[in-house]
Amino acid sequence: MQYEMNRREFLGTGTAVGIAAAGLMSGQASAQDGKPVRVGVIGTGNRGSAHLRFLTLMSDVEVPAICDIRQEAVDAGSKIVTDSGRPAPETYTRDEYVYQEMVTRDDLDAVIIATPWNWHAPMAVDTMKAGKYAGVEVPAAMTVEECWALVNTSEETGVPCMMLENWSFRRDNLAVLNMIRQGLLGEIQHCHCSYSHDCRYWFYDPEGNPRWSGEYLDQRNCAQYPTHGEGPVLSWLDINCGDAYATLVAMATGSKGINTYFKEKYGADHPSATHEFKQGDIVTCLVRTHMGKTIVINNDLLLPRPYDNRWAVQGTQGIYNEQRNAVFIEGRSPQSHQWESFDPYQEEFDHVWWKDLEEAGRKSGHDGTDYLEVKMFLKAVREKTQTPIDVYDSATMSCVVPLSGESIAKGSMPVECPDFTRGKWKQRKPAFAVV
């Protein structure tokens, strides 16, 4: 299969048409003119401050403005910028809507959004309407309506929106993608993915009070955080460029983990030790694609366990298993039906993005994965091209949150997955990580 995406094919996609119409591919502020990329950041807490550190590792990036409703957060973010030798950014802290002033600045090319989940889609929509590339943390949207708002705004304005799904950029996942595209696993039939991570500390502070995220455990029962598992699977299965999600079924276990956590940590008298939470401990989704492939998406955030993603890719000629760090390829693996180490394949099929990654980036967050993600987002901003993860992929991954809740509420009945490409998946060519 040919994976090259030339300019004509790119212009055939919905977002690219808008980009061209808006003049964003005219070469202004492109890599050729040597101008730095100017980035604003909304939300300078834990994740936003990490993004600021990645940005300040890049010599061709400026940070003119940052925004957070907490003064201590913008002060800390400003220090990250000035410690890098750059001028202090202008800060926005007045209220929850002051970001709308920041995104209209003339000296910004892109905005990175790292705020609580409910603000992701509204802020990304406002950013695109202001003509700035939107890089939004995961999930990009909370409802199907918000997913459509992202897609519609990107198409109408011609401005790209990229969900910053870092696990799509992991070194091993990109090597597996190379193996798939070179045909080693044959035709892919099934993928398994997971975000299995004891995240109870995400939802509650050390005193046992709910953080902003903790409120969702009372509000809904769904796959709260599915995109880390989905990210690489989308490119492995050519989702939105040759195939698309068709139907989803989800089911949840009972809710025991949070009560147990509070009993053991704070005592049986703590209100949360007996409170009835809506969120089940483990949510499992099964997606069937239009081309008859299947995906298991497992979310396990509320029970004690080591971290695990459990990626597996089964094709007609072989299988990759991330847990075992192993592969089996018919006709190539030395022993019949025996696993062999993935390590030699990592070296042989290492993606050029990683081969070319500078040393400073390799030493940054998640062993360089976060840095690479931001680097490739800014490359698109600089060159005025489509982002590696586009708005259709961002919406597709995010919609698992509300669709899983809908299926669980209906007794694990199948629900239809929206086609955010409006049928263009049948003609679109793969573009992620194509070089």
Question: Residues 196, 343: one domain?
Answer: yes
Q: Which two tokens mark 138?
A: 């995961």
Q: Which two tokens mark 180?
A: 């798939």
Question: Residues 244, 332: one domain?
Answer: yes
The domain in which residue 175 lies consists of 168-350+392-426
Q: Which two tokens mark 30?
A: 């492109």
Q: Which two tokens mark 231?
A: 């990210």
Residue pair 109/87 in contact by the 8 Å Cβ criterion? no
Percent of the chain with pLDDT strictly greater than 90: 87
What's the average model confidence in pLDDT over 299-326?
Answer: 97
Q: What is the DSSP letter of 286?
A: E
pLDDT at 5 over 60: no
Q: In terms of Cα–Cα distance, which of 179, 193, 410 is closest to 298?
A: 193
Give the model's pLDDT for residue 364.
85
Question: Residues 132, 262: one domain?
Answer: no
The alpha-helical segments, DSSP class H, found in 306-432 are: 343-348, 352-355, 359-362, 369-383, 391-398, 400-409
Give the model's pLDDT for residue 201.
87
The CATH number linked to 41 is 3.40.50.720
User: Would residue 366 count as lying in a domain?
Assistant: no
User: Would residue 14 count as lying in a domain?
Assistant: yes
Q: CA-CA distance, 379 to 373, in Å (whole number)?
A: 10
Mean pLDDT of the chain: 92
Question: Residues 119, 212: one domain?
Answer: no
What's the average model confidence in pLDDT over 347-352?
Answer: 97
The string of pLDDT tens digits covering residues 175-200 is 999 999 999 999 999 999 999 999 99
User: Would residue 265 count as lying in a domain?
Assistant: yes
> What single-letter amino acid sits at 20?
A
The string of pLDDT tens digits covering residues 7-57 is 333 334 444 444 444 445 433 334 446 799 999 999 999 999 999 999 999
Give the model's pLDDT for residue 359.
84
Question: Residues 65, 175: one domain?
Answer: no
Q: CA-CA distance, 240 to 173, in Å (whole number)?
A: 18
User: Would residue 58 count as lying in a domain?
Assistant: yes
Order of strands across the sheet that contains 90-92? 90-92, 61-67, 37-42, 110-113, 133-136, 161-163
The CATH number linked to 327 is 3.30.360.10
What is the chain's Cα-based Rg?
22
What's the average model confidence in pLDDT over 279-288?
Answer: 98
Question: Residues 266, 328: one domain?
Answer: yes
Question: Residues 128, 249: one domain?
Answer: no
Residue pair 164/380 in contact by the 8 Å Cβ criterion? no
Question: Residues 278, 341: one domain?
Answer: yes
The string of pLDDT tens digits covering residues 218-271 is 999 999 999 999 999 999 999 999 999 999 999 999 999 999 999 999 999 999
Residue pair 159/150 in contact by the 8 Å Cβ criterion? no
Q: CA-CA distance, 327 to 311, in Å (whole number)?
A: 12
Question: Residues 230, 345: one domain?
Answer: yes
Question: Residues 81, 100: one domain?
Answer: yes
Choose one of 135, 166, 197: the last residue of a domain: 166
Q: What is the DSSP letter of 424?
A: G
User: Would residue 153 count as lying in a domain?
Assistant: yes
What's the average model confidence in pLDDT over 379-404?
Answer: 98
User: Would residue 212 count as lying in a domain?
Assistant: yes
Choose one of 149, 166, 183: the last residue of a domain: 166
Question: Residues 63, 124: one domain?
Answer: yes
Q: CA-CA distance, 246 to 392, in Å (whole number)?
A: 14
Place of tokens 């939802």: 203
Lowest mean pLDDT among 275-289, 346-360, 400-414: 346-360
Question: Residues 233, 319: one domain?
Answer: yes
User: Would residue 377 count as lying in a domain?
Assistant: no
* Number of folded domains that form the chain: 2
Give the model's pLDDT for residue 3.
28
The alpha-helical segments, DSSP class H, found in 170-300 are: 171-181, 200-203, 216-219, 227-236, 257-266, 271-274
pLDDT at 2 over 80: no
Percent of the chain with pLDDT strictly greater than 70: 92
Residue pair 143/402 in contact by the 8 Å Cβ criterion? yes
Residue pair 67/74 in contact by the 8 Å Cβ criterion? yes
Lowest mean pLDDT among 17-21, 200-204, 334-338: 17-21
Q: In terms of Cα–Cα distance, which of 383, 407, 236, 374 is closest to 314?
A: 236
User: Would residue 372 count as lying in a domain?
Assistant: no
Give the model's pLDDT for residue 33.
65
Choose one of 144, 166, 188: the last residue of a domain: 166
Give the model's pLDDT for residue 329.
98
